[in-house]
Amino acid sequence: MSKFKGKLVAVLAGGFSEEREISLRSGKNVQEALTTLGYSADLVDPVNSLDFSDYDVAFNVLHGLFGEDGTVQGLLEEQKIPYTGSGVASSLLCMNKVSSKFLFEKSGIPTAPFSVQIVGLSALPNGMSYPVVLKPMSEGSSVGVRIVDTDEELLEQSQALVQKYTTYLIEDYIEGVEVTVGIIQTPDTIALPVLELRPENRFYDYEAKYTPGMTTFVIPAEISDSETKKVQNLAVKTFDISGCSGLGRVDFIIHPEKGPFALEVNTVPGMTNTSDLPAQAAHQGMSFEALVESILDQASLKNRV
């Protein structure tokens, strides 16, 4: 029996980020699963209150800023409430794409060459060629991510990112197969089957992620056995060196000649009907309810701030 059976669960969803609506969809699914399993679970939106002291444990599905960057994790630590997913430091690290990429490079995990910018650009930095990818430093669900092909597009999109975010990332565009690897701890760290993403759009952007029919899931991914093993091992390594716990998802592009390149670690994966992690768990033979209960079972206090 789960250690949280009979306890009151706060399903944290909604929040303050641009992923609010997706988070609410995730939260509704998780709450329904917990209710089906016999738990007492409330959908709790931090917009209404930051006092979670009425609850015994928190199931965090707050995507993006506040929910994935260590903020809510710190609040839960202060209130001595166990919670799902990664702790303060690892959440902050993974949410910051620049810090993550520096860590990848230091740890020998392949990632696309990049630079950090604070001004709009009318031409590419030395050594780069089109196309390139522009990204906010700390957003999830591909919010604000753009692929640009010309100086004109570069200037327009980079100025827009500076205006909204101040700092942004520019990196080489890697042509290849988009895949993602879900990670769950049971408490052993397990890499789920590799999921190949075939979006209708140019890449797996916000629209492709959350609009039914916009992305075809191929599971297991149509890659070689050696590539499958390599990307799963890299996913576990990336998860571990980032200090993550509970669950996560690591995204990759597999170049046909150079192999996999890590894009980022998602510490609060979506739990919607179109989300990656539930699809991977289902292929592993795990129902959505079983996945939710497994995640809840690993809830704990991490930092004792």
pLDDT in tens, 173-195: 999 999 999 999 988 899 999 99
pLDDT tops 70 at residue 158: yes
Going by DSSP bridges, is the β-strand pair 189-191/177-185 parallel, antiparallel, or unpaired?
Answer: antiparallel
Which residue shows structure tokens 């980020």? 17
Catalytic residue among 15, 17, 19, 83: 19
Per-residue pLDDT at 238: 97
Say yes or no to pLDDT of 304 above 60: no
Omega before residue 131 within 30° of 0, cis: yes
264 is catalytic: yes
Q: Is 249 a catalytic residue?
A: yes
Is 141 a residue of the active site? yes
Q: Which candidate in 17, 168, 249, 294 is catalytic?
A: 249
Using left for φ > 0, alpha for ψ between -120 and 50, and beta otherwise, residue 186 falls in alpha
Average pLDDT over residues 34-57: 97
- How much is the average pLDDT of 37-65? 96
Q: Which value, in Å, is the radius of gyration of the alpha carbons in the chain? A: 19
CB 82 within 8 A of CB 12: no
The mean pLDDT of 224-235, rounded to a whole number, is: 97
Mean pLDDT (the chain) is 93
Three-class SS state of 111: coil
pLDDT of residue 141: 56
Q: Which domains does the chain have, with CATH numbers?
A: 8-92 (3.40.50.20), 114-172 (3.30.1490.20), 175-293 (3.30.470.20)
Query: Which two three-digit tokens encode residue 266?
Result: 């998602």
Residue 149: predicted pLDDT: 94
Residues above pLDDT 90, as percent of the chain: 82
pLDDT at site 293: 97
Residue 305 reports pLDDT greater than 50: no
Q: Output the CA torsion 88→91→97→99 (10° steps).
A: 40
- Of 90, 142, 266, 275, which is the active-site residue? 266
User: Above 90 in pLDDT, residue 150?
Assistant: yes
Q: How far apart are CA 240 and CA 69, in angstroms?
A: 17
The pLDDT, as a whole number, for residue 190 is 94
pTM higher than the cut 0.85: yes
Q: Which position among 139, 251, 276, 293 bears the catalytic label?
A: 251
pLDDT at 42 over 80: yes
Mean pLDDT of 112-131: 93
Which is the catalytic residue, given 210, 246, 275, 294? Answer: 210
Task: Report residue 118's pLDDT band, with 50, 70 and 90 as the boundaries.
Answer: very high
| CA 216/CA 3 separation, integer angstroms | 37
